[in-house]
Structure 1
Amino acid sequence: MATDHPPDPGLRRLVAELLVVRASGHLADHQRRYPRWELANAELRELLELGVGGVILLGAGAAEVALRCDQLREWAGQPLLLCADVEEGVGQRFEGASWLVPPLGLGRLHARAPAEALTLAERYGRCTGQDARRLGLNWVLAPVCDVNNNPANPVINVRAWGENPDTVAALAAAFCRGLQAEGVLGCAKHFPGHGDTSSDSHLELPTLPHSRARLERIELPPFRSAMAAGVEAVMTAHLLLPALDGSRPATLSAAVLTDLLRRDLGFEGLVVTDALVMEAISRHHGAGEAAVLALAAGADLVLMPADAHQALAGIEAAVLSGRLERAQLEASAERRRAALDRVRPAGGDPRLAPQADGALEETLVRRTLETSTGARPRRWEPASHGQGINLVRLDTALQAPFLPLGAPALATPTAAGLAPCLVDGLGPRLWGDDPAAPLELGRLGSGPVLVQLFVRGNPFRGTAGGDEPWPAAIAQLVGAGRLAALAVYGSPYVWEKLRPLVPAPIPAAYSPGQMPRAQRAVLEALGLGHTGGQEGFTD
């Protein structure tokens, strides 16, 4: 007996509404930075006309993204969720908007100036909301509510608002208040907490081996705080919590999404998966099955399925076979529409790019800057010392938007007579076999060395950079009388390891930010570039 069901356009459109697909912020297909994940325009338009309910964007300048959002809304012909991972301001992803220091910088400020940190966190949210709305984005995938209490965490790191639950709870809620005051949706992530992991869910499935009591004490308070502040959405984490569900990761677990998040925490807003294309999920489940499992567990929206058409077909088949209830999907679609009803329309002409909030950018950089105790900048005279070295460590020079050719970290030391030497995964290998003296100084060249380390947790790297032998390298340079200064951008944990190794009067400075504005402030603290035209280390 035949079991095929006749086509149901209404069901297909309902299912499509629950998908959020990835697209480039650029208008042309050939401009896509990540064609593996970013749909070509023909397929993107087809899916939007079919009823796909959301798009996540990455790349391009702010003005072009504003045009792109107009285009996507026109193709969709319905209210559309337009979102981006802009945890550090919209300028983190879209050039021309405000690029703010990572949240962990405010977490450290909160320890010494809590009222100021809360005020700045709310301004952070307002700035992000203003920029997003002017571009045409209506959903910001932030705040990160993970408590980064594991310095070895390779993927959260400076993205977190702090290292203890009270700080994260207070600052994340302040961010939400600022964001929502601008009429933009927020998203608390990664539920129930990705802070205490030492592996990256972009690459593998981490395990969080903690009891429910521990989760209540450490991981859950920031999410409760964000919910109390009115956050509209919660994003799931791709990690295994044996105390709650020993077989399925949180994203696919009814025990986590339905029992814990919906029933116990009482969350009534949108539940969205983290990207299902990530290896923690896609390595174990096909695109259709992963989407079905996520919705069955209690998710409302499926973010970045590995194949949108397979996800659509899989969900539709699950409804027709009885694995999924159509009423459940309709309730999810209604939550999506209700969230969109609370979005404020774009302010002014959405085709006009926002102007970066330079005052807030500068305040955040200055208030989160740290220098070594007692160290004073010393005068550096290139003519009397000969050519020196500007040793710059990067994750990779191929994806370093914070380091254009004119970036202060390159231009200012060059003007002071320090030749750039960029070290990354594709660059020269300077490490030798001696653990006590790991730098191959013969390859490095002669003269004093300015060490600038750009290191932080980042997706797909699997490390937070703390496993590199920089403590021994700094001690080696100090012992050889060649360390001119140290700058660390990003990870506070690397800075805390190296700071005690730099004796006065050798200057050292740290910023949680890596963008050019942070570079300028750090180099000034080291005595370089104090007045723009000044060269060298100054007294």
Structure 2
Amino acid sequence: MSQLLVVRASGHAGDQQRRYPRWELSNSELQRQLENGVGGVILLGGTATELQQRCRTLRAWAADDDLLLCADVEEGVGQRFEGATWLVPPLALGRLHGHNPAAAIRFAERYGRCTADQARRCGLNWVLAPVCDVNSNPANPVINVRAWGQAPEAAGALAEAFQRGLQAGGVLGCAKHFPGHGDTAQDSHLELPVLAHARERLEQLELKPFRRLIAAGVESVMTAHLLIPALDAERPATLSSKVLTDLLRVSLDFQGLIVTDALVMEAITGLVGPGEAAVQAFEAGADLILMPADADEAINAVCAALASGRLPASRLEQSLQRRREALQRCRERQRQNRTASTAPSPPDAAETAAETAEEHQLALELVGATLEVQGATPVDAPAGGGVTLIRVDGVLACPFLRPEAPAISWPARRGFRPILCHELGISPWHDPPQADHPLALDRLGEGPVLLQLFLRGNPFRAGRDRDDPWPAAIRQLLALNRLAGLAVYGCPYRWESLRALLPSSIPAAYSPGQMAEAQQMLMGRLLGEEHMLELGGEFTD
């Protein structure tokens, strides 16, 4: 039974380096679990180089060679592990698909191959992507830019292309979050969302990308912590046999691995304890139990359910067999890749590098292809100094805004003094709120304001960013003739709503990405410093 558990660990080597010790096992506990047969680890944090060594260590600790090592690298390995390639969010290609579907499909397949190659070189064999949710609700706080599209056709076509890239790179993929988390306004990390659609609507929209990925041979499907009364009025999808067995196994004929979403999420822990959650998920049809709140309790509870007959032994063997078959397919693809490779033996630097030149070039091409610019660029340099007001989602996980980041340093060279505002630091708003002029401009100082918004749908924030009155703030700055320009990074919905407020005289730009490459390319266009770019790719207006 232990083989069917996937526990959480830090990508860093030392216990003191863990970013989330509440969820990430200590080394002594992790080693104990692996030696006792736990069959999977999900990793987060550290550099790509650290991850390579970490995966070697975990394999050495494991009871056998059949260890599943995975990560949530939906935007490339660099999203989670510094030094590898961080790519623009999938929804960026969903927007590109609207006017250039062929280019978007080509990019999505290269995206998947880049992710697979780097994951494999770092020691991972399972990528927890693609997201197959259709982000039909712009207010979705948990999926948002993680989706490949806002309509089922684009989401399915791009997710399928990404999956082809994963398969070509020799790693397992995972379609998530079944049966579809795209039309929710609640975050299942914090509460249990309810999706009230009829079965007919689910067939027309939510299920289409999953059907497509199943037909394409995706190796695993991850559940969603959602209550869908049309399918099961009593249990969330993760714990429902009507969803996992009747719908996914029987109706959609999926024969691969079913993995739960993390059982530590509040949507589940608010309902049942760690042991009962694991039993109910397994009873419902799940094969792999991801991040139980207590691994020992989960193992003991499932073993007790098997001993009592509540769970038939045949279900355990079926899940173990699916796991063996998935790992065998993964090994076979990697053997085929090695056979087809012309690389010398022992492997050259490209086989161990965190990022190759070709992979970095893909990141730059994606930034260039998804950049949007409007208005009369460049931004005028302030004669007596000005302010660049930068809003970030959260300061605790903001590695893309170091002091030397282009969004800070490039405007500073032009005379814009940086001010970062976030929920744990400076607030730019009047308190109490003032509807017509929400910005407390006395806190910012004199001069024109270059507004930069790093906003995207982020789990655990429960949509709090939606409360920021940026439309009123822009109207306030326009009325005072103090808006020098606007830059939006991340959320396309925020960009669409704000760009409509700007006259053609105001420079504005949008990038789906938030990483340094996106900042540099956007700032180059907005500030008229394209000559400083040595990035490659093409700009598109």
What's the counterpart of residue 135 of structure 1?
A: 122
Contact 1:371 1:509 (8 Å CA) reproduced: yes
What does residue 13 of structure 2 align with? 27
Residue equivalent to 1:3 = none
- Would you say how many aligned residue pairs link Structure 1 and Structure 2? 516
SS at match of 1:422: strand
C-alpha distance in 1 between matches for 2:371 and 2:389: 21
Q: Name the SS of the counterpart of 2:532 in structure 1.
A: coil
Is residue 75 of structure 1 aligned with residue 52 of structure 2?
Answer: no
Residue aligning to 1:306: 293
* Residue 490 of structure 1: aligned partner: 490
Distance 2:529 2:9 in 1: 40
SS of the aligned residue for 2:205 comes to helix
Question: 2:395 is matched with which residue: 368, 389, 397?
Answer: 397
In structure 2, give the amino acid aligned to 1:531.
H
Distance 2:81 2:119 in 1: 10
CA distance in 2, matches of 1:73, 1:408: 39
Mean Cα deviation higher: 209-218 or 461-470 = 461-470
Tell me how far apart the structure 2 counterparts of residues 242 and 152 of structure 1 sit (CA, whole Å): 21
User: Contact 2:379/2:507 (CA < 8 Å) preserved in 1?
Assistant: no
Report what 2:354 is aligned to.
Answer: 353
Work out whether 1:157 is the aligned partner of 2:144.
yes
| SS of equivalent to 2:390 | strand
Residue pair 1:458, 1:464 contacting (<8 A) in 2 also: no
For 1:49 and 1:378, how far apart are their aligned partners in 2? 60
1:417 CA drift (Å): 1.1
Task: Give me the whole-angstrom Cα distance separating, in 1, the residues matched to 2:244 and 2:97.
Answer: 31
TM-score of the aligned structures, taking structure 1 as reference length: 0.94
Match of 1:38 in 2: 24
- Selected match of 2:249 from 262, 275, 279: 262
Q: How does 1:266-285 map to 2 (within 5 A)?
A: 266-285=253-272
User: Equivalent residue for 1:412?
Assistant: 410
Structure 2 counterpart of 1:10: none
The match for 1:4 is none
The match for 2:89 is 102
Instruction: Tell me if structure 1 keeps the 8 A contact 2:2–2:39.
Output: yes
Q: Does 1:462 pair with 2:448?
A: no
Residues 479 and 278 (structure 1), Cα distance of their counterparts in 2 relative to 1, 3 Å cut: same
Give ranges in structure 2 of 5+ residues lacking alignment: 339-346, 535-541
Could you tell me whether the CA contact under 8 Å between 1:147 and 1:164 is conserved in 2? Answer: yes
* Residue identity matched to 1:370: E
Equivalent position amino acid for 1:380 in 2: D
Tell me the distance in 1 between the aligned counterparts of 2:453 and 2:180.
Answer: 28
Provide the residue aligned with 1:450 in structure 2.
450
For structure 1, the residue ranges without an aligned partner over 5 or more in a row are 1-14, 535-539
Which runs of structure 2 are paired with 1:184-333 in the superposition (5 Å)?
A: 184-333=171-320
**Structure 1 match to 2:538:** none
| Identical columns (%) | 62
Counterparts of 1:128 and 1:144, CA distance in 2: 14
Equivalent residue number for residue 7 of structure 1: none
1:187: Cα distance to partner? 0.1
Q: How many Å separate the matches in 1 of 2:201 and 2:133?
A: 14
The amino acid across from 2:399 in the alignment is P
Query: Are the equivalent residues in 1 in contact too, given 2:379–2:484 (CA < 8 A)?
Result: no
Q: Deviations over 1:116-175 (max 9, x none)?
A: 100100000000000000001000000000000101000000000010000001000000
Cα RMSD between the aligned structures?
A: 1.5
1:178 paired residue among 162, 165, 173: 165
Structure 2 CA distance for partners of 1:260 and 1:44, relative to 1, 3 Å: same
TM (norm. structure 2) is: 0.93
Residues in 2 aligned to 1:517 and 1:62: alpha-carbon distance in whole angstroms:
18
Alignment check: 8 A CA contact 2:379 2:528 kept? no
| In 2, Cα distance between equivalents of 1:379 and 1:313 | 63
Pick one of 367, 374, 385 that aligns with 1:365. 367
Question: Does the 8 A contact of 2:237 with 2:243 survive in 1?
Answer: yes
Query: 1:353 corresponds to which letter in structure 2?
Result: A
User: Offset of 1:464 from its aligned partner?
Assistant: 6.6
Counterpart selection for 2:323 from 321, 336, 344: 336
Q: Distance in 2 between matches of 1:268 and 1:533?
A: 49
**Contact persistence 1:155–1:464 (CA under 8 A):** no
Q: Offset of 1:321 from its aligned partner?
A: 1.1
| 1:435 aligned onto 2:435 | yes
Separation of aligned partners in 1, 2:2 and 2:376:
60
2-structure distance, mates of 1:429, 1:55: 39
Q: Deviations over 1:239-280 (max 9, x none)?
A: 000011001000000000000000000000000000000000
Q: Give the match for residue 3 of structure 2.
A: 17
AA aligned opposite 1:332 = S
Aligned-partner Cα distance in 2 for 1:177–1:222: 14
Q: In structure 2, how many angstroms separate the alpha carbons of the residues matched to 1:533 and 1:517?
A: 10
CA distance in 2, matches of 1:268, 1:158: 29
Q: Is residue 185–residue 232 contact of structure 1 (8 Å, CA) maintained in 2?
A: yes
8 Å contact kept, 1:457–1:464: no
Inter-partner Cα distance in structure 1 for 2:43 and 2:381? 47
Q: Is the 8 A contact 1:201 1:278 kept in 2?
A: yes
SS of match in other structure, 2:442: helix
- The answer to whether the aligner puts 1:92 opposite 2:95 as a matched pair is no
Deviation at 1:399, TM superposition (A): 1.1
Tell whether the 8 Å contact from 2:8 to 2:41 is kept in structure 1 after alignment: yes
Which secondary structure does the structure 1 equivalent of 2:61 belong to? Answer: helix
Equivalent position amino acid for 2:370 in 1:
T
